[in-house]
């Protein structure tokens, strides 16, 4: 059976992947992964797709911000198949949609409770400073509340965004994989969770290069 994979942006840019494989930069990791994809395409007819224009545009912007060389973009256009998912024809079970709505409601409730906790905490901090003998009360309040806001943002992001699909590129990855009956390559927790719910094969981004290398090593071994 012909193997197909749909790549998320993190399939190329994941930090864990770079550390695991010893790549020095995002540009280096992109170069090496695209070379592996090229060889896998030629030797095994493995096709790697990228949703267009959502994920493709996101990846190109990311690589340009890191000032990658032009040959990387040529390889990107050569070896990754750009395709827009058929959003009108791909069918997703109602149970998946129902579960997603329940998950979002739970996340929103947790986010509300978290916001309430931080509002009470900020009020207590402000009251303590105002009642104290500090001469620079305004400056102290701004410093303390600023630190609290930073803490709130981190917790809010973890509470609300972890494990959900929070962007159109994320959704396009799943829709295209469903349409093509392909595997998903990503390091995003939300994409992983909903890939499993939809019965899609999931490959962790950090393991994808080694999987391709294993294929190639076995072919060379048997040829030898």
Q: Which backbone phi and psi does 47 adopt, to 5 degrees?
A: -105, 130
In terms of pTM, does the model score above 0.75? yes
Tokens 């069918």 locate to 91
Contact present, 70 and 30 (Cβ < 8 Å): no
Q: What is the pLDDT of residues 26-64, one digit of tens each?
A: 999 999 999 999 999 999 899 999 999 999 999 999 999
Q: Rounded distance, CA 35 to CA 164, Å?
A: 31
83 Cβ contact partners less than 8 Å away, ≥ 6 residues apart: 49, 50, 51, 52, 176
Residue 224, pLDDT score = 57
The stretch 88-117 carries a mean pLDDT of 90
Give the burial class of 105: count Cβ atoms within 10 A of its Cβ; 0-12 exposed, 13-18 middle, 19 or more buried: exposed
Q: Where are the domains of the chain?
A: 4-92+168-223, 94-161
Residue 118 has pLDDT above 90, yes or no: yes
Label residue 2 by pLDDT band (50, 70, 90).
confident
Tokens 């998912």 locate to 85
Residue 222, pLDDT score = 67
Give the burial class of 183: count Cβ atoms within 10 A of its Cβ; 0-12 exposed, 13-18 middle, 19 or more buried: buried
Residue 71 has pLDDT above 90, yes or no: yes
Q: What is the pLDDT of residues 135-151, one digit of tens each?
A: 788 888 889 999 999 99
Fold designation for 4-92+168-223: Rossmann fold (3.40.50)
């Amino acid at each position: 059976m012909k193997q197909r994979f749909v790549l998320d942006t993190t399939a190329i840019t994941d930090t864990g992947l770079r550390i695991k494989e010893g790549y020095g930069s995002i540009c280096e990791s992109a170069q090496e992964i695209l070379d592996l994809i090229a060889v896998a395409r030629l030797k095994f007819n493995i096709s790697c797709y990228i949703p267009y224009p959502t994920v493709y545009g996101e990846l190109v912007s990311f690589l340009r911000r890191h000032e990658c060389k032009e040959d990387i973009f040529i390889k990107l256009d050569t070896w990754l198949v750009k395709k827009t998912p058929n959003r009108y024809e791909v069918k997703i079970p109602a149970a998946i949609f129902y579960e997603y709505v329940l998950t979002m409601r739970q996340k929103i409730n947790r986010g509300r409770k978290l916001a309430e906790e931080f509002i009470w905490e900020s009020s207590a901090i402000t009251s303590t400073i105002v009642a104290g003998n500090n001469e620079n009360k305004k400056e102290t309040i701004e410093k303390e509340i600023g630190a609290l806001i930073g803490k709130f943002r981190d917790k809010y992001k973890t509470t609300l965004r972890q494990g959900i699909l929070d962007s159109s590129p994320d959704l396009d990855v799943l829709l295209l994989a469903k349409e093509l009956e392909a595997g998903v390559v990503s390091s995003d927790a939300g994409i992983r969770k909903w890939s499993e719910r939809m019965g899609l094969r999931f490959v962790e981004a950090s393991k994808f290069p080694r999987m391709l290398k294993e294929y190639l090593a076995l072919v060379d071994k048997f040829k030898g």
